[in-house]
């Protein structure tokens, strides 16, 4: 239990730091964001491993999309990198998978981002929301593939003004834990 | 705090007020570097200024002022900028200063912020021409009819003036934040490294640079490590090393390929599985890498240790020094207060026998590689009156046996961190940057290296 509590706290702190780093002077620091994401990922893995050993059946993903939209951090996306697209997120999901057609995603991304920002209020930044949400099991994500928060990807998009080719805005999940 | 109700220091307010316990952010020193002879010492700060100190020549008449460093020149190197394309502010903080080897009477140094590197010329003017024919002493044009004879202007001594001028501006080559610059031993080129790329420049050419390392993945989702520091070999102009956030070092040879993504040597210590924690990745990130003066060894610093590597042995470091292992059990709090992300630098002494690095509470540590002895010293106003001998400090673990003058881990001040230190290239003189203060310590007994 201690491990899960600590893991959750670490994740909450990481999210807070990632969020506040967006308004930092000098822009996003890639190194710091990367380290925070790695800490968050390992905390999340440990948390899920601990959860899995505790409960036999983790509550399913049926209520995921609506709660996800409301509860996610402003600026952090609520996406689905895998197959089970639900409702309004279907479009986003398809967009995320068309990696080779990078140019088209340029048109999708800003709309997605604007939509998400409008929905969220300041209260969503409070870490209080996290304890109320259910845990989600990772499906189909391979270990070595590092799941970066969209804060990191925002950084890339912001920095792509120079000779760097535009990358698609991958969509990432915010883990809601309870 | 008296009548001052605003406890937050503002960036525009310059000056350190001794009555108040806060520091204006612009005065925080962000880099320290001796030049190749040790005669000059440059510091850069968060406000984009560079201050150069010069060592006074030893004089017999005033024995106590021998070898002291006084301010030689101060100039504004970088200004805050705004990138309109990305809506990002570019900080003016000086990340690194590197001196060029001196080739004539003037001194040259490179200074960099997050995006732009500048070459500065520092020259002295102690004479001025007098006796012009067409101008009078104040510079006013003379009436030609009053000139009856011609004279040759002569150079007359004047008060010493130090002039600093920007000679080159190397801009627009880095998408990410520049963390290192390093001058090549060929004295013609230098490199600049950001989080994902390293560029090679010619000192005379500013409109283009050559990309020699690019670790940016095609898909940023696959990003697993970034470049944290880079340096050229002191003698071999084709070799350089760069460190990563994963704790690895890569030695690259520019003769092998134009793009040195493939390393010649990879220095990596296998992780100890028993020491694994949530923060293993953060604390293994290398914050600084320095070649020894001999070029035979590498010195790296990660959050808790300093390691010496032999260029001929890639599997593990030659020596590992615990800088402040008592923090290992406190990583969670250090993560919450952001201290775990602090990037400490490290330094060699001139003979490569002693290494030095900073810690918290204004402590800095020195490790003698031969005798295996180490010492912890403090850089603070209270403990350093001029010409006083520094007293070794000791940190004891909470609950451990405590001697007089020991300080416990819980009393350490984590806001007082020594990130930047430098060692004179030939003598036992060190420069320590403690937030906004610069301390220069000299070992009078053992002035020469051994």
The three state secondary structure string of A2-65 is HHHHHHHHHHHHHHHHHHHHCCCCCCCCHHHHHHHHHHHHHHHHHHHHHHHHHCCCCCCCCCHH
ipTM: 0.86
Report the residue from B88, B223, B278 with minimal CB separation from A43. Answer: B278
Q: How many CB pairs under 8 A join A and B?
A: 95
Q: How far apart are CA B200 and CA B190, in angstroms?
A: 6
B117 has which bridge partners? B112, B170
Does residue B227 contact residue B198 with C-beta atoms inside 8 Å? Answer: yes
pLDDT band at A172 (very low <50, low <70, confident <90, very high): very low
Q: Which residues from B are below 8 Å from A38, CB to CB? A: 281-282
Task: Give the per-residue pLDDT at B401.
Answer: 63
Does residue B191 contact residue B242 with C-beta atoms inside 8 Å? Answer: no
The residue that leads in pLDDT, A59 or A90, is A59
Question: What residues have CB less than 8 Å from A76, skipping those under 6 apart?
Answer: A15, A18, A19, A149, A150, A151, A172, A174
- Name the region of A26 (left: φ>0; alpha: ψ -120 to 50; beta: rest): left
Q: Chain B closest CA to A12's CA: distance in Å? A: 10
Task: Give the per-residue pLDDT at A122.
Answer: 46
Min mean pLDDT across A62-71, B124-133, B267-276 is at A62-71
Answer whether B221 sits within 8 Å of A147, measured CB to CB: yes
> Average pLDDT, stretch B61-80?
84
Q: Chain A closest CA to B332's CA: distance in Å? A: 8
Q: Which residues from B are below 8 Å from A99, CB to CB? A: 219
Length of chain B: 450
DSSP state of A107: H
Report the residue from B86, B89, B245 with minimal CB separation from A35. Answer: B245
Q: How far apart are CA B285 and CA B275, in angstroms?
A: 15
> Average pLDDT, stretch B319-337?
95
Report the residue from B245, B278, B335 with minimal CB separation from A34. Answer: B245
Q: Chain A closest CA to B165's CA: distance in Å? A: 26
Min mean pLDDT across B16-25, B198-207, B244-253 is at B16-25
Task: Give the per-residue pLDDT at B172.
Answer: 94
CA-wise closest residue to B264 among B298, B240, B235: B240
- Residue in chain B nearest A22 by alpha carbon: B88
Report the residue from B175, B195, B196 with minimal CB separation from A162. Answer: B175
Question: Cα Rg for chain B, rounded, in angstroms?
Answer: 24
pLDDT band at B61 (very low <50, low <70, confident <90, very high): low
Q: How far apart are CA B38 and CA A156, in angstroms?
A: 41
Burial track B298-318 (b if 16+ CB lie within 10 A, e otherwise)? bbbbbbbbbbbbebeebeebe
Query: How buried is B113 (Cβ within 10 angstroms: 0-12 exposed, 13-18 middle, 19+ buried)?
Result: buried
Pairing of β B429-434 and β B154-170: unpaired
Q: How far apart are CA B434 and CA B260, in angstroms?
A: 37
Query: What is the longest distance spanned by two Cα atoms in chain B?
Result: 93
Residue with tokens 């890498």: B289
With 70 as the cut, is the pLDDT of residue A150 above it? no
Task: Give the per-residue pLDDT at B18.
Answer: 46
With 60 as the cut, is the pLDDT of residue B236 above it? yes
Helix (H/G/I), strand (E/B), else coil: B69: strand
Question: What residues have CB less than 8 Å from B266, skipping those under 6 apart?
Answer: B248, B249, B250, B251, B314
Report the residue from A7, A26, A164 with minimal CB separation from B90. Answer: A26
Report the residue from B87, B220, B336 with minimal CB separation from A152. Answer: B220
Task: Give the per-residue pLDDT at A60.
Answer: 46
With 70 as the cut, is the pLDDT of residue B340 above it? yes
- Name the region of A9 (left: φ>0; alpha: ψ -120 to 50; beta: rest): alpha
Q: How far apart are CA B438 and CA B32, in angstroms?
A: 9
Task: Give the per-residue pLDDT at B387.
Answer: 73
A-facing residues of B in 104-143 (CB < 8 A) are 114
> What proportion of chain A, given as a percentage, has pLDDT over 70?
30
With 90 as the cut, is the pLDDT of residue B144 above it? no
With 80 as the cut, is the pLDDT of residue B12 above it? no
Q: In the numeric block, which tokens belong to residue B189?
A: 């080129």
Mean pLDDT, chain B, as a whole number?
89
- Residue in chain A nearest B172 by alpha carbon: A162
> Average pLDDT, stretch B321-334?
95
Q: In the numeric block, which tokens belong to residue A16?
A: 């807070």
With 90 as the cut, is the pLDDT of residue A51 above it? no
- The torsion angle over the Cα atoms of residues B13, B18, B19 and B25, rounded to 10 degrees, is 40
Q: Chain B closest CA to A70's CA: distance in Å? A: 24
A-facing residues of B in 81-100 (CB < 8 A) are 83, 85-91, 93
With 80 as the cut, is the pLDDT of residue B318 above it? yes
Task: Give the per-residue pLDDT at B137.
Answer: 78
B-facing residues of A in 70-99 (CB < 8 A) are 99
Phi, psi of B223, rounded to the nearest 5 degrees: -65, 125
With 50 as the cut, is the pLDDT of residue B185 above it? yes
Residue with tokens 């690895």: B248
Q: Which residues from A are below 8 Å from B225, CB to CB? A: 34
Answer whether B332 sits within 8 Å of A30, measured CB to CB: no
Q: How far apart are CA B226 and CA B282, in angstroms?
A: 12
- Write the DSSP assignment of B187-220 as a string of letters: SSEEEEE-SSEEEEEETT--S--EEEEE---SSG
With 50 as the cut, is the pLDDT of residue A6 above it? yes
pLDDT band at B22 (very low <50, low <70, confident <90, very high): low
Does residue A17 contact residue A36 with C-beta atoms inside 8 Å? Answer: yes
Q: How far apart are CA A139 and CA A81, in angstroms?
A: 9
Q: How far apart are CA B13 and CA A14, in angstroms?
A: 32
Helix (H/G/I), strand (E/B), else coil: B26: helix
Q: Is A160 on the interface with B (CB under 8 A)?
A: yes
Answer whether A161 sits within 8 Å of B86, measured CB to CB: yes
Q: Chain A closest CA to B205's CA: distance in Å? A: 19
Task: Give the per-residue pLDDT at A52.
Answer: 85
Q: Is A10 on the interface with B (CB under 8 A)?
A: yes
Mutation pick from A2, A41, A159 vs chain B, by most beta carbons of B within 10 Å, is A159
Q: How far apart are CA A124 and CA A134, in angstroms?
A: 16
């Amino acid at each position: 239990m201690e491990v899960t509590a600590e893991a959750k706290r670490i994740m909450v702190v990481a999210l807070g730091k990632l969020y506040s780093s967006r308004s930092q002077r000098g822009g996003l620091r890639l190194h710091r964001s990367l380290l925070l994401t790695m800490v968050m990922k390992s905390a999340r893995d440990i948390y899920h491993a601990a959860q899995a050993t505790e409960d036999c059946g983790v509550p399913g993903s049926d209520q995921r999309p609506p709660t996800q939209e409301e509860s996610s951090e402003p600026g952090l996306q609520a996406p689905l990198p895998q197959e089970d697209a639900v409702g309004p997120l279907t479009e986003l999901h398809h967009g995320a998978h068309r990696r080779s057609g990078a140019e088209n995603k340029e048109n999708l991304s800003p709309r997605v981002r604007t939509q998400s920002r409008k929905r969220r209020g300041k209260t969503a930044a409070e870490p209080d929301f996290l304890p109320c949400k259910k845990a989600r099991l990772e499906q189909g994500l391979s270990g070595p593939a590092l799941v970066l928060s969209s804060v990191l990807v925002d950084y890339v998009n912001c920095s792509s003004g120079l000779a760097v080719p535009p990358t698609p805005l991958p969509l990432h999940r915010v883990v809601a834990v309870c | 705090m008296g009548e001052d109700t605003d406890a937050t220091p503002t960036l525009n307010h310059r000056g350190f007020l001794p009555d108040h316990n806060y520091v204006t952010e612009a005065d925080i020193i962000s880099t320290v570097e001796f030049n190749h002879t040790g005669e000059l010492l440059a510091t850069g700060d968060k406000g984009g200024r560079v201050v150069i100190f010069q060592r006074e020549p030893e004089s017999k008449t005033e024995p106590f002022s021998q070898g002291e460093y006084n301010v030689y020149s101060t100039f504004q190197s970088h200004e805050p900028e705004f990138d309109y394309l990305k809506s990002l502010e570019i900080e003016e903080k000086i990340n690194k200063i590197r001196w060029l080897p001196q080739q004539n009477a003037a001194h040259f140094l490179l200074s960099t912020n997050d995006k732009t590197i500048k070459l500065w010329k520092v020259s002295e003017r102690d004479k001025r021409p007098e006796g012009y024919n067409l101008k009078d002493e104040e510079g006013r044009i003379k009436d030609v009819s009053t000139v009856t004879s011609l004279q040759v202007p002569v150079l007359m001594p004047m008060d010493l003036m130090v002039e600093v001028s920007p000679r080159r501006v190397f801009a627009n080559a880095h998408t990410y934040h520049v963390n290192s610059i390093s001058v090549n031993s060929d004295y013609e080129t230098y490199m600049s490294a950001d989080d994902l790329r390293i560029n090679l420049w010619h000192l005379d050419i500013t409109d283009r640079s050559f990309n020699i390392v690019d670790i940016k993945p095609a898909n940023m989702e696959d990003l697993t490590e970034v470049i944290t520091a880079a340096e050229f070999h002191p003698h071999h102009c084709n070799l350089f090393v760069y460190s990563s956030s994963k704790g690895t070092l890569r030695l690259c040879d520019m003769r092998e390929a134009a793009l040195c993504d493939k390393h010649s040597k990879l220095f990596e210590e296998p992780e100890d599985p028993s020491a694994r924690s949530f923060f293993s990745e953060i604390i293994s990130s290398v914050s600084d890498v320095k070649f020894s003066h001999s070029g035979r060894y590498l010195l790296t610093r990660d959050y808790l240790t300093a390691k010496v590597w032999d260029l001929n042995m890639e599997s593990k470091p030659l020596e590992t020094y615990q800088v402040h292992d008592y923090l290992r059990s406190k990583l969670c709090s250090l993560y919450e207060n952001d201290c775990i992300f602090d990037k400490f630098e490290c330094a060699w002494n001139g003979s490569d026998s002693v290494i030095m690095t900073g810690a918290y509470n204004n402590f800095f540590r020195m490790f003698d590689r031969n005798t295996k002895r180490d010492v912890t010293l403090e850089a603070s106003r209270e403990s350093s009156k001029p010409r006083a001998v520094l007293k070794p400090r000791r940190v004891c673990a909470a609950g451990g046996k405590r001697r007089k003058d020991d300080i416990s881990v819980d009393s350490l001040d984590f806001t007082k961190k020594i990130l930047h230190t430098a060692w004179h290239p030939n003598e036992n003189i060190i420069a320590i940057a403690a937030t906004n203060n610069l301390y220069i310590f000299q070992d009078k007994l053992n002035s020469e290296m051994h």
